[in-house]
């Protein structure tokens, strides 16, 4: 079991790629809060400098626009490299398939080379999508997955599968201290409402009084993890030498129809539920086995779904108040 000492990151330099994205911005914030110096790189293809604007006044924070698939800027010695640069939005990776593949392949290799040069701990954010539409439930790290390599989700799925293989290769050939985290459906403040993911979509529809669009009959399941919990797992992974892969997600499983009903009740909305066609290759069940995270990281989620949704809703309303 890994215990993160309170001052573990004190004075250490952490490089976060994709740091201006939804998850990356929360990670930068958490690392600064633990005493780290943080350099944030992002090409803003789906992230935004606005997500880290509040960190600009922090003396330990540096933001630099950077595409990890191209020439990299010089950077002072890094103790940890957190590689989150990725196009995770279904709508965005459908629009930018080649960029999605490049970030997981060329981008991952470049960052592994940088980690090797700096003798830094490296953590890559992989995804539950490596399991595809799983035939094993719940999904454990030993399961190889059921992925369609030529389907509409393939560019994202395969970019992450390549990234995991690259980590394994870099461990063997370059001796990189590298770990893999497989992240399951994370949600929370700073998620873009137009990126095609279910929580911001439902909240936005409910607040605006629009029908909540539930794919199929809504019986497909997801396991939703609040961003603070996911970030805590990433921080713990960065502070140890666990190789992974380690599933990071909430094992509480909910149907999409159930989620829609919770959102309607939480917002007090009069929005109806509208059933729409199922997207191709949409996973029917998704639930992590987090035994490894519990035993190797000493981690499990603590934020209940309704609490996390309420925090996300409060952020959304503060940013885009309904008039």
Check the CA dihedral 91-96-101-106 and report its sign. negative
CA 269 to CA 322: how far, in whole Å? 12
Nearest C-alpha neighbor of 9 from the set 178, 301, 240? 240
- On whether the CB atoms of residues 37 and 12 are closer than 8 A, the answer is yes
CA 212 to CA 202: how far, in whole Å? 6
Q: What are the distances in angstroms from CA 304 to CA 267, 301, 310?
A: 17, 8, 10
Clarify whether 156 is annotated catalytic: yes
Query: Of the residues 156, 187, 226, 316, which is catalytic?
Result: 156
Q: Which of the 8 DSSP states describes residue 73?
A: P
Q: Which of the 8 DSSP states describes residue 122?
A: E
CA 157 to CA 285: how far, in whole Å? 16
Catalytic amino acids? 156
């Amino acid at each position: 079991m890994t215990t993160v000492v309170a001052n573990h990151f004190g004075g250490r330099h952490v490089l976060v790629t994709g740091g201006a994205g939804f998850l990356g911005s929360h990670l930068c914030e958490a690392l600064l809060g633990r005493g780290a110096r943080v350099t944030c790189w992002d090409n803003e293809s789906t992230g935004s400098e606005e997500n880290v604007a509040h960190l600009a006044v922090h003396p330990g924070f540096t933001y630099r626009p950077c595409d990890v698939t191209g020439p990299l800027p010089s950077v002072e010695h890094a103790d940890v490299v957190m590689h989150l640069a990725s196009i995770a939005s279904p709508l965005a990776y459908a629009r930018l398939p080649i960029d999605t593949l490049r970030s997981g392949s060329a981008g991952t290799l470049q960052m592994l080379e940088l980690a090797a040069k700096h003798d830094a701990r490296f953590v890559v954010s992989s995804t539950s999508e490596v399991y595809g539409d799983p035939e094993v439930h719940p999904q454990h790290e030993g399961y190889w997955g059921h992925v369609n390599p030529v389907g509409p989700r393939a560019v994202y799925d395969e970019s992450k599968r390549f990234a995991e293989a690259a980590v394994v290769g870099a461990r063997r050939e370059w001796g990189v201290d590298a770990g893999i985290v497989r992240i399951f459906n994370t949600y929370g403040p700073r998620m873009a409402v137009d990126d095609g993911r279910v929580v911001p979509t439902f909240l936005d529809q409910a607040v605006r009084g629009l029908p909540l669009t539930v794919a199929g009959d809504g019986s497909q399941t997801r396991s939703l993890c609040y961003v603070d919990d996911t970030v805590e797992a990433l921080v713990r992974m960065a502070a140890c030498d666990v190789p992974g892969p380690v599933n990071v997600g909430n094992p509480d499983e909910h149907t999409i129809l159930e989620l829609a009903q919770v959102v309607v009740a939480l917002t007090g909305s009069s929005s109806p539920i509208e059933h729409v066609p199922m997207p191709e290759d949409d996973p029917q069940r998704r639930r992590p086995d987090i035994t490894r995270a519990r035993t190797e990281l000493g981690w499990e989620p603590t934020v209940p779904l309704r609490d996390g949704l309420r925090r996300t809703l409060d952020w959304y309303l503060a940013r885009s108040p309904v008039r």
